[in-house]
Amino acid sequence: MAVVAVVLPSTTMAQPDTWHAAALGGGELNFVPGLDQQLTGHGWASFDSVGEGIVGGGNLRLFYNTTKLHVGIERLSFADDKLAFFAFVEGEAVISQLLNDYFQQGLRISEYGFKASYVLVSTKLQWYPGKNQTLEVILGARRWWFAQRSSTSADYQLPPNTWVFEPRIGYNYWNIDVPATEWEAHRIFPRITGVAVGIDGGLDVRSDVQRWGLDDGRNDPGKVMYSVSQWLRAGWQLGPFVRLQLDEWGNYGWAQDDITRRRMGGVSPYVIPVPGLPWPGLISERLLAGQLGLHLKAKESSQHEFGLLVGGGAFNDVYRIGALSNYGGAGGLALLGDLRFGPAGRYQVNIRVSWGFPVSWLLDPPYFSGLVAFGARIF
């Protein structure tokens, strides 16, 4: 609220062309015929607006997504543009981290899902030491609240409500050569040419920690939880009709629980994708995953792309029983349609249909998932 009080008076001074906004809606469904025809899914609706240069030369961002609200100041530059400051306030209700859905070996167990909500205040300082390079320090403070759903089992122990201090330090190398419009909010799957890589490390310090969930040791976090994560995005244009794109993620954490672990499954942009699996069919803190896409155009002047994705990786505790040192594999194939209409692709349609590879730890394959999303640049 303090951020809102400071920045909103400045918005009245902004010229109309300093504001950009986009809207997006979509959903993903997962279908498993062998699990009593299990059908699960999630939908979202979002609005994202940015006022460029209207807060002391920095940007004001107002963002809404389903049950999440975000207000922030971005890229407030100083020291001859060698440093930049970011800050935001964010809150999400009921479905945070999708803890309302509990999947084990692909099966959804409604008795183990619960409500999770938070409020987060975060600041970030970025330093640009050289071309294409960024060093950053992030400090965050979060308050978590948890509650039972109507279907939650009385025997399922909820985590305690808690404060969390979340410091991070990271390094990014960014050498992506695409138009600025590729990063507009309604483009949930940007088309990449070039390479970018990042690595960060951090910890979560909670004010209240106790064992929770099932009595299997999986959710027995330490007061301090650690993680090191890494990501890579790269793309290569192989002539006017063919493009390859690679996305890769790595993560290693310890003393964690299902609140802090990474989410995987499906073909959504909001988790690490594993085609065919439910979203999130896997929750792991130790993983190496990737996705390679072949993107094709019918003619050089077309705005549309079609293609094939193959993705997967290795993840710890795939059975979700607390065997944190054991690993299993998962992967799948997806067909994609990345459709753009209007001047400069003002309207965006994404379609993805996927199938998961049969693996020993998944119950009763086959597994299918599909995504449809619609977006538009408003102004």
Q: What is the pLDDT of residue 8?
A: 38
Q: Are 328 and 346 in contact (CB under 8 A)?
A: no
Q: Are 307 and 274 in contact (CB under 8 A)?
A: no
pLDDT at 3 over 90: no
Q: Which amino acid is at 193?
A: T
Tokens encoding 346: 């003002």
pLDDT at 2 over 70: no
Environment class of residue 256 by beta-carbon count within 10 Å: exposed (0-12), middle (13-18) or buried (19+)? Answer: buried
d(CA 212, CA 331): 30
Which of 39, 34, 33, 35 is CA-nearest to residue 279?
39
Q: Are 370 and 38 in contact (CB under 8 A)?
A: no
d(CA 142, CA 205): 10
Which of 148, 152, 185 is CA-nearest to residue 64?
185
pLDDT in tens, 271-287: 999 999 999 999 999 99
User: Residue 87: beta bridge partners?
Assistant: 73, 123
d(CA 314, CA 269): 19
d(CA 146, CA 302): 48
Q: What is the pLDDT of residue 1?
A: 34
Summarize the confidence of residues 214-240 as an average pLDDT.
96
What's CA 152's distance to the chain center, in Å? 26
Which of 30, 61, 62, 64 is CA-nearest to residue 44?
64
- Higher-pLDDT residue of 180 and 9 is 180
pLDDT in tens, 70-110: 999 999 999 999 999 999 999 999 999 999 999 999 999 99
pLDDT in tens, 47-60: 999 999 999 999 99
Model confidence, pTM: 0.92
d(CA 13, CA 313): 49
Residue ranges of the domains in the chain? 20-377
pLDDT at 15 over 70: no
d(CA 291, CA 272): 9
Q: Are 225 and 255 in contact (CB under 8 A)?
A: yes
Q: Is 295 helix (H, G, I), strand (E, B) or coil?
A: strand
Q: What is the mean pLDDT of the chain?
A: 94
Q: Are 276 and 267 in contact (CB under 8 A)?
A: no
SS3 content of the chain, % helix, strand, coil (to 5): 5, 60, 35
Alpha helices in 40-146 (DSSP H): none
For 20-377, CATH gives 2.40.160.50
d(CA 336, CA 257): 33
pLDDT at 14 over 50: no
pLDDT in tens, 179-214: 989 999 999 999 999 999 999 999 999 999 999 999
Instruction: Report the b/e string of 343-373 with b at 16+ CB within 10 A.
Output: eebbebbbbbbbbbbebebbeebebbbbbbb
Q: How confident is the model at residue 362 (pLDDT cuts 50, 70, 90)?
A: very high
Q: What is the pLDDT of residue 17?
A: 59
pLDDT over 90, % of the chain: 94
